[in-house]
Amino acid sequence: MTGIFDGKIALVTAAGAGIGMATAEGFARRGARVMLSDINPDAGNATTERLRGEGHDVRFLRADATCEDDVAALVRGTVAAFGGLNIAANIVGDAHRDASGPDFHEQSLEAWEYTQAVSLRSVFLSMKHEIAHMISPNKTGQGGGVICNVTSLAGMLYVGAAGAAYAAAKAGVVRLTKFAAVSYAERGIRVNCIAPGVTPTEAYNKAGAEMGQMVIDHLLAFQPIKRVIATSEQADAIAWLCSDTAAMVTGHVLPVDGGWTAQ
């Protein structure tokens, strides 16, 4: 897939760590010019400087993906810096530490609202402003584009440890992805999402730190390929969905889950 994004402009949220960082790396190494974004400027800048050191055309803008003003400025900044926007990977997502587990009758409204904001509102806002630019001709006179969101297996099936708030938010990402795919297909925009299995994201690391290896082993027990999935493997799936080789794929939820959902 080397060079498949030559001449393309990509935007990646949550690019400071985990799947977002791997996705930004994958786009850049395949030829794209990439705007990286993260709420943590230290992490985002570190990734950006490392990729620049490899000779890639990348930049960084800090943004809180739950804040519409930040997201609007991020998309404007991407278009201003590179002259357009062809690809967007919306990867921001998290759950409040008190929103996990099956007993949601004991969870606070604060935990629910935080989780909805980070895991669903962020995707809505990102897509809203990305699509607004994609449906308008860029400097090359071409409209259209590709978006890939990140949902979760919790948005597709019962994963009790994930909690109701996270499951609801990620199910919302699935439906939003499919709705947008149909709504904007005739305007040249494809929208898909991936659903990761057990992958060492920040949420994964946090769960392991707070609840121990037992929780990770419990999750892996549901995954037929019983190893942790690398963030680069998730990024490879995103790259394929965003490439021209997937030109007729839209509205699709791709589980990258070691066979979990095949059972």
| Residue 56 contacts residue 125 (beta carbons within 8 Å) | no
Kindly state the greatest CA–CA separation across the chain. 54
Does 192 score more than 90 pLDDT? yes
Of 64-78, 88-102, 154-168, 191-205, which has the strongest mean pLDDT?
64-78
- Band of residue 211 on the pLDDT scale cut at 50, 70, 90: low
Q: Rounded to whole angstroms, how far apart are CA atoms 248 and 244?
A: 9
In a domain, 50, yes or no: yes
- Band of residue 204 on the pLDDT scale cut at 50, 70, 90: low
pLDDT for the residue numbered 162: 82
Domain range for 21: 9-197+230-257
pLDDT for the residue numbered 212: 57
Cα end-to-end distance, the chain, whole Å: 30
pLDDT for the residue numbered 174: 98
- Band of residue 214 on the pLDDT scale cut at 50, 70, 90: confident
Catalogue the active-site residues.
166
User: Mean per-residue pLDDT for 238-257?
Assistant: 98
Which tens digit of pLDDT belongs to each residue from 25-81?
Answer: 999 999 999 999 999 999 999 999 999 999 999 999 999 999 999 999 999 999 999
Amino acid type, 36: L
Q: Rounded to whole angstroms, how far apart are CA atoms 5 and 142?
A: 16
Residue the block writes with tokens 């449906």:
135
pLDDT for the residue numbered 231: 97
pLDDT for the residue numbered 161: 77
Which tens digit of pLDDT belongs to each residue from 139-148?
Answer: 444 579 999 9
User: Mean per-residue pLDDT for 110-117?
Assistant: 93
CATH number at residue 49: 3.40.50.720
In a domain, 215, yes or no: no
User: Mean per-residue pLDDT for 147-175?
Assistant: 93
In a domain, 160, yes or no: yes
Element at 246 (helix H, strand E): none
In a domain, 93, yes or no: yes
In a domain, 218, yes or no: no
In a domain, 207, yes or no: no
| Residue 176 contacts residue 242 (beta carbons within 8 Å) | no
* Residues of the chain above pLDDT 90, percent: 80
Does 90 score more than 70 pLDDT? yes
Higher pLDDT, 201 or 121: 121
In a domain, 97, yes or no: yes
Number of structural domains found in the chain:
1
pLDDT for the residue numbered 140: 47
In a domain, 212, yes or no: no
Does 244 score more than 90 pLDDT? yes
Does 136 score more than 80 pLDDT? no
Mean of pLDDT over the chain: 92
Beta strands in the chain (DSSP E): 9-12, 33-38, 58-62, 87-90, 145-150, 189-196, 253-256
User: Mean per-residue pLDDT for 133-160?
Assistant: 84
pLDDT for the residue numbered 205: 67
Does 99 score more than 80 pLDDT? no
| Residue 259 contacts residue 199 (beta carbons within 8 Å) | no
* Rg of the Cα atoms in the chain: 17
